[in-house]
Amino acid sequence: MKANSQRRSTPAAPALADFLNPGFLRKARKELERTGFVSDEHDFAPYGESLKDHCKEIERELRRLGFPGHLTPGVIKNHPTAGYAYYVYDSNRFHDRREAEAEISRWLDRRYRDELQA
């Protein structure tokens, strides 16, 4: 068990079958279409490395639902409040990894604004 930035304790690495379900896929597709990424800091996503480790499987399942994007895994290692943040992003939406990381970092800043000010 490890605690994430929301102060929740979660299993270190959920198995693919534990989160690759219709609910997760529906929410992931919606978020990818809206923002271009899904992070382990999203409430519906598995915490830890699972997104990054199962990027191809997630993309395959999303394609079955009509998602046209191409997912690429990544990690932000030193975010001030999230620490390590694992994510997948739609490389069709961002020019390169740096652009995706900058957007994800801004999203994390907004998400944890109160902790940044403390």
The 8-class DSSP code of residue 46 comes to P
pLDDT at 3 > cutoff 70: no
Q: For residues 19 and 94, which has the higher predicted lDDT (pLDDT)?
A: 94
| pLDDT range class, residue 15, cuts 50, 70, 90 | confident
pLDDT at 117: 62
Contact, 108 vs 41, CB < 8 A?
Answer: yes
Closest by Cα among 39, 46, 112, 48 to 81: 112
The dihedral built from the CA positions of residue 42, 34, 102 and 59, taken in this order, carries a sign that is positive
Query: pLDDT tens digit string along 18-61?
Result: 778 999 999 999 999 999 999 999 999 988 888 999 999 999 99
